[in-house]
A and B are shown apart, each in its own frame.
Chain A
């Protein structure tokens, strides 16, 4: 049981596997040893490309259509680079040498126009031994300028109204590699704007640079071949097949993939400019997968979720339903004040009272129902509290259909965390009918509920009314919160720090993005107060300390440390 957890790789970048075969190439004059093959988007080994080799050599070659997680298309031409290969002596068919003994390099040239460099697209050209990649040569720069100018010919340059502005590859490369002026003085081709592509996607055909990332994603990753290119020449445009809607549950990933502002999210449309958004590393709480996300927030308002790359969990993707599941956090009816028997109160009044009630409760008269959406640390503290009073604890199962890709059947985000900390064992939710029975029989007089509406899970409002003490912490009002004697407003995941353990045993941490409304406090803090004996002599709750304490008490977490959990988490034995 106490096997040490495995630490996650520190960097999510494509790890160079210790391949037996390596190839030596030169990137911008620097010799680099690269593996002969590297995994492609499906993980199959494929010959290493110039783009990958340059990246390993520390040079990022600009690109639009290439994406690590997608099949290579090679249609944007942005990654054109000049290169050279070792020259062969035509007579001997042996490698030609320079006077100083170094291999002679033949630069790639246009066959019909010797003297002009011939570029190759770095994303799709495999390397060969002795190859030299000139990622910064004048010829390469000229090629990039020309490609950019070409891409901008029909681009409307409506950045002021484009949601992509600020995170737009076209903007970035135009600044880094482009020219300040265009030689194109004719009228631009106009295409439809604000095209409704699906329930969550808006298409602006003018802005599209036809990289086909979206087409490849939806066909090859999401498995819903919904998009294609129609019309010819300058009138090329992206469209959904006739009669089809681009409406699969992963469609919003194409918005992230789109290097320009052609595909934009209807949800995020015109809501906020991206440069105002504070980015916080967090986790999606919509199911047991625990997709890694970045929360974009400004002034304590959450504007969007975006997936964050984690090879062990969600690759670079997330589902639309999880991505859009953030709006409830800003709801006006969020619980924001401490209430004691329906009256407004304060933490410093309510907590000592709860403590006194719990201290007087006879053993076995307390039950705790904790939602499996609480953080592992909170559940651990709850379990400590429960052990002190011999309380029965359980959690509420919540399931749905798994889609075979990211969405898990378990819709609680911390089911495994609740199990590992001992909130439930055996069958989740099996204790609930027993608790209901004990309340009816009068055995259980005090019930503590965290983040669940128990009236919908077998404990009726009448039963709740018969309790001596009902302590409830939740985020949104429900029948349970209305019945509570002590109502303690809690925090959503985006409003606190903590860890979740996903269905596969990946323990991941998330950080705080926004402030909680009103008087709401992270559950961790007030549970700590209850466990550690009151407001007066408590040391402040601190997540690092509680996590490290939990690691000592929970065998599955042995050897972990808050500081070592990292951005992508660690896998713990279930």
Chain B
């Protein structure tokens, strides 16, 4: 049955495989989001000498699976809670905001090469192999702020409003630093296509760009914290001062969408970092594009392991550092990272120019 597919029209094949890839990526991301919520809770518990959620397993049995059933329970809880819309909100925007937050996070994943191939060299493991991949990414990521700003505005309530304002200022500031930080990468690689970036690093551990551009990685990492509203830069939500920031007035599934968005953004950022600095899907010993199915799956696994590692770093940092003050955040973004990133561009450009001479 599957044999017949290869005799299809190439355009039809492209549509079919793209649809399949989209479905799989979407599904895997959602599962990852749920898993990362549980992981977040368990890791935070371990760091704080606690046990964390370890009880929910298969219902009506004693099988607990380390409490991984918690992710289903959480999802179910969100579905079953009352979906409450306060009567003073601007309803249309209020309903729109969670979706606008979630969509860009998934869109970013479209250009990430999460594997080489599954044996067929024509079918690369990336949903959209754009030659301007990174530009697309920045374009889409900058849309994410609208959801949050809109949520803050539509809630028609002071805490969400403050959260929205903080969020817009913070994300715009750090987008600049983030954008500047990756320019040296492309100076080195000579292409904006993320597949080419991975290809540049496919020679093994030593060819990973994190060694050549540690400064860029550092700035990108911290900017990613800020972009995903994670501690130590979770000013837009900051429970202790803004209750919940932009999602104060949200409940049930709408709140869950913000929640999903935050973790999907994390996954996207981590995937991006893995792609840019840690060789994407290539194993540490280096590899060419896979020619067999098993090698292709190995590359996929390799990518996932790296992403998981980055996610754990994100989680770890959240439970390690206290929240920055807002002026420190701004100071860090504008007066430290942008000059450093510019300096990094200059130095890299200089070195590349010398090299090519």
Assess A/B contact in the complex (Cβ within 8 A): no
